[in-house]
Amino acid sequence: MDRITTIQVSAATRDRLFRLKFRKTYDEYLVELMDLVERLEAEGGRRPRSPGKVLAMSNAMREWTKRNVKWRNGRISEVDLDGR
């Protein structure tokens, strides 16, 4: 896969950006984004969650997900989305 330069965005990032800024001007969107960054920095910043923390946090959710899917012949055949 091609590497991107420091001023390029990937197609996936472009798509996410499009969704997030939908119905706003880029100026409004960027102001909102900068406000969020400044607020998080003021709160001491947010570190990415470690894989261990992700696993620990998600154990209860995994059980819940398992309860809401049914298997048939080795494949997931039914999902209950009302449980959330």
Q: How far apart are CA 9 and CA 17, in angstroms?
A: 10
Q: Does the footprint of another protein cover residue 8 (CB under 8 A)?
A: no
CB 78 within 8 A of CB 70: yes
- 15 CB-side CA count, 13 A: 3
Q: How far is the CB of 84 from another protein (least distance, A)?
A: 4
Please identify which residue in 5, 6, 7, 18 interacts with another protein, judged by CB under 8 A.
18
Q: Where are the alpha helices (DSSP H) in 1-84?
A: 11-20, 26-42, 51-67
Q: How far is the CB of 7 from another protein (least distance, A)?
A: 17
Please identify which residue in 5, 6, 22, 42 interacts with another protein, judged by CB under 8 A.
22
Residue 83 in tokens: 């449980």
Which residues in this chain contact another protein in the complex, by CB under 8 A? 1, 10, 12-13, 15, 18-19, 22, 48-49, 51-52, 54-56, 58-59, 61-62, 64-66, 68-71, 74-84
